[in-house]
């Protein structure tokens, strides 16, 4: 316990010192200026989670839902998302927060749950929730553990170290008076391998991660994911605190992707909503409406209030599409086959909602 306490103390002190050093840099011009001077955005990501951040063996490129948000932020700042404007820096579950606090990355988009402790102890801030998730359990079919808490007494449970899932499952089992052994591993891949190899009876993680991990198995039907969630897991981008301009850019680019879906603007029909050659302000506004003109136009747009081009959202949508396109491409019908659920637009029964763009 003493060793653990010392480690925790040193970690907090280190984070505070790192955050202080980066804070000085931020005060001298902010992360936006650092990114522009460097010529590229550095985004901290995962590369082993299918659907969210995954190293595609066929292309040797990291792709996924989270990666497209990195690409959106690069397009917002530089007008395009390319290897020249975006660097994906793979970070682990254990070092993701320290890497951000130390300035090794500019923004973290890696399945990171927004919690009070992370928000207050690490000198970091969380942006809008771009994926509403929940922790649940995965078991092997036929072992009698499906949706049955009583059957879990005496089981071994696998989880990834350094995540909220360790504490959540411990709370859930203790609350029910169930005995269990918890095995933790450094990476999600190692956790899944241990479960598949039979070292544990149950694997626990965010539902989206379990769906992705099951889909990557040779026989996905051999595994069952519980219907019940045992926690709320709001996931989204993370950045250093006390840098309001950069925070605004991350926040409003995220909201802009949701707003684009609300407007029905996609990467395929974007040009229909842009100003045509020879079209004056009055004619353009009459054709698309004042709200879309403020959202997309280089003259009537309001992106300049963020320190970006007035029409930055046009560049973002051209690069990655709207929120719905990103979801369907990686997690929905064209990806893991997940339902939108809480991640549907507010107008369709979900929680995704963009503040007023004016």
Q: Among residues 102, 60, 107, which one has the least CA distance to residue 87?
A: 107
Mean pLDDT of 16-25: 49
Determine which of 66-75, 214-223, 263-272, 312-321 has the lowest per-residue pLDDT on average. Answer: 214-223
pTM for this model (two decimals) = 0.88
Tokens of 257: 């992707």
* Better-predicted residue by pLDDT, 12 or 114: 114
Mean pLDDT of 60-64: 97
Mean pLDDT of the chain: 92
* H-state helical runs in 28-109: 30-38, 65-78, 96-101
Q: Name the pLDDT band for 28 (thresholds 50, 70, 90).
A: low
Q: Cα(262)–Cα(169) distance, rounded to whole angstroms?
A: 37
Statement: residue 9 has pLDDT above 50:
no
- Sheet with 202-206, edge to edge strand ranges: 180-185, 155-160, 202-206, 135-140, 223-225
3-state secondary structure of 75: helix
Statement: residue 185 has pLDDT above 60:
yes
Mean pLDDT of 233-246: 96
Question: Tell me: the pLDDT tens digits for 267-294?
Answer: 999 999 999 999 999 999 999 999 999 9
Q: Name the pLDDT band for 250 (thresholds 50, 70, 90).
A: very high
Statement: residue 86 has pLDDT above 90:
yes
Question: Tell me: the pLDDT tens digits for 148-180?
Answer: 999 999 999 999 987 889 999 999 999 999 999
Q: Looking at residue 161, what is its pLDDT?
A: 87
């Amino acid at each position: 316990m003493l060793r653990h306490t010392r480690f925790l103390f040193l970690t907090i002190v280190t984070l505070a010192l790192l955050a202080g050093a980066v804070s000085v840099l931020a005060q001298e011009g902010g992360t936006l200026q650092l990114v522009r001077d460097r010529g590229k955005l550095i985004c901290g990501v995962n590369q082993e989670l299918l659907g969210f951040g995954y190293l595609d063996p066929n292309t040797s490129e990291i792709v996924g839902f989270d990666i497209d948000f990195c690409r959106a932020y690069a397009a917002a700042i530089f007008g395009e998302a390319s290897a020249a404007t975006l660097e994906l820096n793979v970070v682990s579950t254990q070092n993701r927060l320290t890497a951000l606090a130390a300035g090794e990355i500019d923004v973290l988009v890696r399945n990171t749950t927004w919690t009070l402790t992370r928000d207050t102890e690490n000198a970091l801030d969380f942006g809008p929730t771009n994926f509403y998730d929940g922790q649940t359990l995965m078991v092997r079919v036929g072992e009698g553990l499906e949706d049955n808490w009583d059957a879990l007494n005496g089981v071994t449970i696998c989880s990834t170290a350094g995540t909220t899932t360790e504490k959540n499952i411990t709370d859930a089992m203790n609350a029910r008076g169930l005995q269990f052994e918890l095995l933790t591993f450094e990476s999600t891949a190692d956790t899944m391998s241990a479960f598949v190899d039979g070292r544990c009876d149950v694997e626990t993680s965010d539902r989206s991660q379990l769906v992705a991990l099951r889909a990557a198995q040779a026989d996905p039907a051999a595994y069952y994911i519980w219907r019940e969630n045992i926690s709320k897991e709001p996931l989204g981008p993370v950045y250093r605190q006390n840098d309001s301009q950069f925070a605004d850019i991350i926040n409003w680019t995220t909201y802009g992707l949701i707003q684009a879906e609300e407007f029905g603007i996609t990467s395929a029909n974007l040009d229909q909503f842009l100003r045509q050659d020879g079209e004056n302000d009055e004619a353009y506004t009459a054709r698309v409406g004042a709200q879309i003109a403020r959202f997309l136009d280089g003259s009537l747009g309001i992106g300049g209030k963020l320190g970006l081009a007035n029409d930055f959202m046009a560049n973002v949508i051209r690069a990655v599409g709207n929120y719905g396109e990103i979801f369907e491409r990686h997690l929905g019908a064209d990806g893991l086959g997940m339902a939108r659920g809480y991640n549907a637009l507010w107008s369709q029964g979900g929680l995704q909602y963009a503040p007023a763009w004016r």
